[in-house]
Amino acid sequence: MKLRAGDMLQLESPTGPVALKVRAIVIDYSSELGAGFIDRKLYMERWRDEALDLVNVYLLPQGNAEQVSAEIRKRLGSDETLFVTATAALREQYLGLVHDSFSYTRSLELIVLIIALLGVVGTMVAAVLDRTRELGMLRAIGASRAQVARAMVIEAAFIGACAVLLGIFAGALQCKMFLEILVAEQSGWRFEFVFPTEGALRLSVLVVVTAAIAGLLPGIRAARLDIKDALSRE
């Protein structure tokens, strides 16, 4: 059942049905099933249950979380039925789990670079073979070997840059669709899409540099072409 702010929700209790008005809808990741928050006084009155399983303690800005945690353990005991965890520690634990889960993406970056290297090398070698006569004409009208090699490297880097732009656009679109459609529909959790600027810049530079390096070998091959042989080819 999908609720909106202002809707009436009727719940069953030991004392009979209870009609509650939905004041707000908030995103909460503590449970994939969702939860409702009501006043404890009303809960004790209608459900007659005084048990507790979770207590949130909020500190003033000048409060010390470690000291308060230690005092709670001292007063209430620290056996297996009581866990006192600071929000910062819990956040670090969850972030660590997320980072560990996605650590494999580092190996994917390496695979992407290897594929880019091989792809650009193959493309540029084919370009040299197909444009042998054109390269020979450039040498014949005065282009130096360094200029020919530089042109091939720049062309390879441009191919890498185009691949980066298309890859970033396609990847961002796919990730946004994944979060808004698959994750939201399957788990009910909604995550805001945040573009990974640092990672995109790092990978973009690596791909462009790798593409330029990949174009160096075909560039040297093109620079070493004999002008007469190159011009005689059809």
Q: What is the rounded average pLDDT for all residues in the chain? A: 81
pLDDT at 32 over 70: no
> What is the 3 state secondary structure string of 90-146?
HHHHHHHHHHHHCCCHHHHHHHHHHHHHHHHHHHHHHHHHHCHHHHHHHHHCCCCHH
Q: How far apart are CA 218 and CA 124, in angstroms?
A: 6
Question: Is residue 8 within 8 Å of residue 20, measured between CB atoms?
Answer: yes
Element (H, E) at 173: helix 145-177
Query: What is the reported pLDDT for 29?
Result: 65
Considering only residues 33 and 51, tell me which one the structure prediction assigns the higher pLDDT: 51
Question: Is residue 124 within 8 Å of residue 155, measured between CB atoms?
Answer: yes
Torsion angle of the four alpha carbons 65, 71, 74, 75, in this order, in degrees rounded to the nearest 10: -120
DSSP 8-state secondary structure symbol assigned to residue 61:
T
Assigned token pair, 37: 């928050």
Q: What is the mean pLDDT of residues 11-32?
A: 83
Q: What is the pLDDT of residues 142-173, one digit of tens each?
A: 888 888 888 888 888 888 888 889 888 988 89
**Top mean-pLDDT range of 2-6, 15-19, 62-66:** 15-19
Question: What is the value of pTM for the model shown?
Answer: 0.58
